[in-house]
């Protein structure tokens, strides 16, 4: 749906141009809009394609374990990249653009440079002790390829040996392993969605998640709060847990009278 909306924009603008030039009287690719009032002076006009807002997809626990099982057999570079992508909720470009000087092993943090981010906002993010172990192992392995400072992740193919790893190479790696794990919807952005949803599940505040993710607006962050179901679960437990449990218990016989 989002792709269709994007492709309609140039078509709509083209017809706007034709209307301005007097070639057409109206634009057939209309914009959805609402005018207050009823009757001839008010009402709503639907867009050519209805706009739908969907929550990001994240893998179920069993699917995530399948992906991890496949990744465990991969070289150290690929395992570290997956760990950092999840740990720090990194976008694909942010991950592949990391440099050796961006890493601070003493404090287990990494700098996401402004020029690599979608919002052009620099941020500092932590990574876990487990990822730190993978990082130490990878740095020793990387030294065998190149001792020069610069891009953290290097290609190991014969054609591009020790050259910076490209976005497309990482995408191909993830796609290959997603198919091997039988989780075809898994992509380079899935780890970011999963990390931010897990933070929401753990009770992080909205602004803290937005800062961690590098979101310019908390509207983007709200998707992960909704996806986690945290607020709905809390309200359900606080306001009507007994009533809800009783109604469901009537179906399962948990009310003490049993079922016939």
Is the pLDDT at 232 greater than 80, yes or no? Answer: no
- Residue-wise pLDDT tens digits, 186-204: 999 999 999 999 998 888 9
134 with 83: CB under 8 angstroms? yes
Q: Give the 3-state DSSP-derived string for 127-180, with helices as H, strands as E and coil as C.
A: CCHHHHHHHHHHHHHHHHHCCCCCECCECCCCCCCCCECCHHHHHHHHHHHHHH
Is the pLDDT at 60 greater than 70, yes or no? Answer: yes
The two tokens of residue 142 are: 């990387």
Average pLDDT over residues 8-26: 91
Average pLDDT over residues 46-72: 87
Nearest CA-CA partner of 185 in 52, 66, 84: 66
- Residue-wise pLDDT tens digits, 22-56: 999 888 887 766 555 555 555 556 667 777 777 88
Q: Mean pLDDT for the chain?
A: 86
Q: How distant, in Å, are the alpha carbons of 75, 88, 100, 150 from that of 156?
A: 10, 24, 17, 16
Taken in order 231, 237, 243, 249, the sign of the CA dihedral is positive
**Domain 61-227 class in CATH:** mainly alpha
Angle between helices 206-213 and 190-201 (to 10 degrees): 160
pLDDT at 55: 81
Choice between 3 and 131, residue whose per-residue pLDDT is larger: 131
Average pLDDT over residues 240-255: 65
pLDDT at 169: 95
**% of the chain residues with pLDDT over 70:** 83
pLDDT at 53: 75
Which band of pLDDT confidence, cut at 50, 70 and 90, is reported for residue 78? Answer: very high
Count, residues in the chain: 260
Q: Locate the domains of the chain by residue range.
A: 1-32+47-54, 61-227
Beta bridge partners of 151: 99
pLDDT at 35: 52
pLDDT at 260: 46
Average pLDDT over residues 81-95: 95
């Amino acid at each position: 749906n989002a792709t269709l909306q994007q492709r309609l924009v140039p078509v709509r603008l083209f017809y706007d141009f034709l209307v301005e030039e007097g070639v057409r009287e109206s634009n057939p690719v209309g914009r959805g809009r609402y005018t207050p009032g009823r009757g001839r002076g008010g009402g709503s006009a639907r867009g050519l394609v209805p706009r739908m807002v969907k929550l990001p997809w994240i893998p179920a626990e069993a699917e995530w374990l399948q992906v991890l099982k496949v990744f465990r057999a991969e070289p150290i570079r690929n395992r570290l990249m997956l760990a950092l992508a999840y740990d720090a909720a990194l976008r694909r470009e942010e991950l592949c653009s990391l440099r050796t000087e961006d890493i601070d092993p003493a404090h287990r943090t990494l700098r996401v440079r402004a020029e690599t981010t979608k919002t052009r906002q620099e941020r500092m993010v932590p990574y876990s002790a487990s990822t730190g172990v993978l990082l130490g192992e990878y740095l020793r392995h990387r030294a065998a390829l190149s001792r020069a400072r610069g891009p953290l992740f290097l290609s190991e193919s014969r054609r591009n040996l020790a050259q910076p790893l490209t976005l497309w190479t990482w995408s191909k790696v993830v796609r290959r392993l997603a198919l091997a794990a039988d989780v075809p919807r898994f992509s380079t952005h899935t780890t970011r969605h999963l990390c931010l949803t897990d933070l929401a599940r753990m009770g992080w505040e909205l602004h803290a998640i937005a800062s961690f993710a590098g979101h310019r607006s908390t509207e983007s962050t709200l998707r992960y709060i909704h996806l986690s179901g945290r607020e709905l679960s809390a309200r359900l437990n606080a306001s009507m847990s007994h009533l809800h449990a009783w109604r469901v218990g009537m179906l399962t016989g948990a009310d003490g009278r049993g079922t016939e």
